[in-house]
């Protein structure tokens, strides 16, 4: 992996020290070998959720159809009877390894990127490591960075492959939106809530459950793989408190989060031009939030909307799993073909942005 400095930094310069943190890298010998998903069985429509919120909507004089009209989310998935997010992540991991043609004993690194976690410690990764039957030599840990975890993990794993530390990396993510939505609906149905309170929790109602996994390996050992070219990350952590979530609920200043996120996207996109040409990619696979966020991202970077596939209409916002789910969906439809250039990108609470280029 080659780390690229944007320009020399004078530590005494106030302008430089005030800039968001940055990292720009190009990868030499890393490919995406597979991406697999596990879909939750139960479909929950936005109409279902609004029916459960009928009293609150009437009391606050909010119209029906709000979730679909404002966010574009028609339905999302929730785990069915006997399904759990970690078992789904293990299932996705197994299928990703099978698709890549690698065995559990080949894996040198497991990174779990789930936002969902039933406890603070140990990591979710240890349960997945055991469930997947990985060897004791396989490094395993969590990367928690809101909705950017999966893309961040791809970059970290790529760096370790480039360095020769590992041969193969398995990245997994499983999300469970059930509890946060149940808590949110119960709270909004209580008295004493106003429209501002409702809208601060609106994003919780767009969340969905699902799981995804990907295997990365050396390009020279897998010439038919999909090369990781490189990418950038940027941070605007002065906005650390605009979207704060827990199992109890997710509370968001949507207007400021969108504004701060798009400012950071434009900065990162412009700074990346010195190292990457992303103006004419074949597909732009973005983190799936809503109509509003997708249109804002497209307008911010100035790319054709027709090249931006979306899955939030069917799956909602599945956190870090959203990008691999959408990528896998495009592959399954045959919308991504050999030779295509694919951009992965998004904005996560914090605020952070990450962008990564793949050659299919």
3-state secondary structure 158-219: HHHHHCCCCCEEEEEEEECCHHHHHHHHHHHCCCCCCHHHHHHCHHHHHECCEEEEEEEEEC
Active site residue 243: no
Which of 158, 130, 175 is closest to 215 using CA atoms?
158
Dihedral angle of Cα 170, 348, 80, 134, to the nearest 10 degrees = 20
- H/E stretch holding 117 reads none
Q: Which of 75, 147, 201, 330 is catalytic?
A: 147
147 counts as catalytic: yes
List phi, psi (to 5°) of 288: -95, 110
Question: How remote is the C-alpha of 217 from its chain's centroid?
Answer: 21
The CA-based angle 143-147-148, given to 5 degrees, is: 60
Look at the block and give the residue holding tokens 């989310």.
73
Q: Which two tokens stand for residue 201?
A: 């929790």
Quote the strand ranges of 242-281, DSSP E.
Answer: 243-246, 249-252
CA distance 241 to 252: 8
Q: With beta carbons less than 8 A apart as the criterion, state whether 4 and 275 touch.
A: yes
Distance CA 65, CA 69 (A): 6
- 53 and 46 in contact (C-beta within 8 Å)? no
Preceding amide of 202 cis, omega within 30: no
Active site residues: 121, 147
């Amino acid at each position: 992996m080659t780390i690229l400095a944007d320009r020399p930094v004078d530590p005494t310069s106030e302008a430089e020290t005030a800039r968001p943190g940055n990292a720009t890298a190009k990868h030499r010998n890393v490919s995406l070998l597979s991406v697999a998903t596990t879909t939750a069985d139960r479909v929950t429509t936005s109409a279902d959720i609004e029916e459960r919120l009928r009293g609150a909507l009437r009391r606050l004089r909010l119209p029906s159809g709000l979730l679909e009209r404002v966010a574009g989310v028609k339905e999302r998935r929730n785990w069915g009877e006997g399904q759990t997010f970690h078992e789904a992540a293990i299932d996705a991991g197994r299928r990703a390894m099978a698709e890549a043609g690698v065995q559990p004993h080949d894996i040198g690194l497991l990174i779990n990127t789930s936002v969902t976690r039933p406890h603070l410690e140990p990591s979710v990764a240890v349960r997945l490591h055991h469930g997947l039957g990985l060897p004791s030599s396989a490094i395993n840990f969590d990367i928690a960075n809101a909705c950017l975890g999966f893309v961040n993990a791809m970059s970290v794993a790529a760096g370790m492959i480039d360095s020769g530390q590992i041969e193969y990396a398995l990245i997994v993510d499983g999300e469970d939106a059930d509890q946060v939505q149940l808590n949110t609906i119960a709270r909004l149905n209580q008295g004493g809530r106003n429209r501002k309170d409702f809208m601060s929790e609106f994003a919780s109602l767009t969340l969905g459950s699902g799981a995804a996994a990907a295997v990365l390996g050396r390009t020279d050992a897998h010439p038919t793989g999909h090369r990781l070219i490189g990418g950038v990350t940027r941070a605007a952590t002065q906005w650390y408190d605009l979207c704060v979530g827990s199992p109890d609920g997710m509370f968001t200043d949507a207007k400021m989060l969108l504004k701060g996120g798009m400012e950071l996207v434009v900065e990162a996109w412009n700074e990346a031009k010195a190292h990457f040409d992303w103006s004419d990619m074949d597909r732009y696979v973005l983190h799936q939030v809503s109509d509003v966020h997708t249109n804002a991202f497209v307008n911010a970077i100035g790319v054709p909307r027709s090249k931006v596939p979306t899955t939030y209409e069917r799956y909602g916002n599945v956190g870090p799993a959203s990008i691999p789910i959408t990528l896998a969906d495009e592959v399954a439809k045959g919308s991504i073909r050999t030779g295509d250039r694919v951009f992965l990108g998004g904005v996560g609470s914090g605020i952070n942005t990450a962008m990564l280029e793949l050659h299919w």
